[in-house]
Structure 1
């Protein structure tokens, strides 16, 4: 049995065991084979139901948020602009993963072109880094709004929000760009079979018959650097925010101020707690079956993307009111007709 690292999401290296029995002799395959969830092929159709449901919820929820934020002038603030960036990031991430995964589950379409595999790998890693940066930007916005409210309107201007958003895009794009280029240069002479349901970076480069330490070390460095810095800035921001909240004179003021951070806090927890759980499962669950590890890895990647729009829809009163007003207005027009 060979120990193969396969899943690295913004700082977590997860492992699973895979057999070498399918190895063969070829160089640089034109296609890879994605197994979906090994040993559960007979249940792929049933497994696809929750994944398809999550995809539909994520698509609908994020498009509703994008529409409401665009149409409602009251929501044209820095936090909502960042929310739009997060929604777009979630949509791209989900669309990079789920259509091919569902094609495997429904049609047994396991082949993926080598270039398409590298493109999927790039988009997954790139937008995960962007999403992490957006959460940092949201934390900074909450810090300015609560700790220095008089300067919020002059600090978090539209040009500043645009610059922060551009910086997050450039950071993700440039830091992840070496991954596909390094992966393309390796010769592949072992196997073209990838056990996970999508082209994860370490799952692909581990198939190369070359010294891949450059790819591995760079991947680990970027992942731990991004995760470490982002969590550090979020922690510092919320430490200052909590100090400012607890210094308020009345309990009502403290609760009201804290509620304005509620959605963002839940999204942060939703993003990092499943990752931490998956990390523990992979490192300490060596006796668990391969398909269980892959299921956990898939779920911890896609569940937060589905939950994000639900959190903001439930906990953001302005979005609730706008959606209710929109539905009521349409209902009234239908009755009048």
Structure 2
């Protein structure tokens, strides 16, 4: 099936979609891309970590509807009557700051929320996509991480509420496929960044960008030699769409295999902002992965997908968005935004 096909293997039209978590960072970009492709979208979000600001520009679309609802509660008719051909489950706290603040809510979103989304897909014979995470690999003992690697996860540590919520969600999704024949797909999303991240998100890139724009030192935890592979949100969304438009069940890694140390990423942010890099060391974080790099062979071969936005270009777009729109991220008067690391 070609990527632009208008139907999935159940024979149902994919011209309508329900996106749980659609007002979040990745979810809002996904809603935007679906609308641009001609798909009617019902965006469902409880706005605990999402924001109506992320989707304000979409309200002029007649095919776009927003329902404020917690996915762990029974779905109202405003959602079930949408008769979707596609169901995306992105509803979860995703940053450590958020899931540490909302531990039980995060677990419920992965357990109860996943079941409610799967039941919606089952009822309407829709294609279902679970937005899982590279965190299912934990602090990996192998690198790069392929989908066949089962992970090294601490089931009771501080990160476990997110890691295990997603691992359970994957198990439940696979069980619905085997038991009920639901047409499912699992995407394991690696670190994603770009416009519409919250400045108080707590994750590495928004922290670095806001600190650099304000002329502050960049906070680096541990040695800074731990690695990350960051993927621009446009590429992540393209990967999610390629997966749901295929017949592949997953799991499929969606990420950028360009592995960098945290210090290298901090340096790249400083170059884009046009400031000298100064680092404020912080204690290491418990269970913080020391290596993070996806093997995207499956995505390349089965979906024809691979990332196209390089780090310099992606950071330039991200820094410009924060500089233009985030009230507390206005550049320091002595800092000149140069875009030096990319166009």
Note whether the superposition's TM-score is higher than 0.5: no
Q: Which range, TM-score by smaller chain?
A: under 0.3
Greater RCO structure (CA 8 Å; 6+ sep): 1
Bigger Rg, which one: 1
More strand by share: 2
State the TM-score, normalizing by the size of structure 1. 0.26
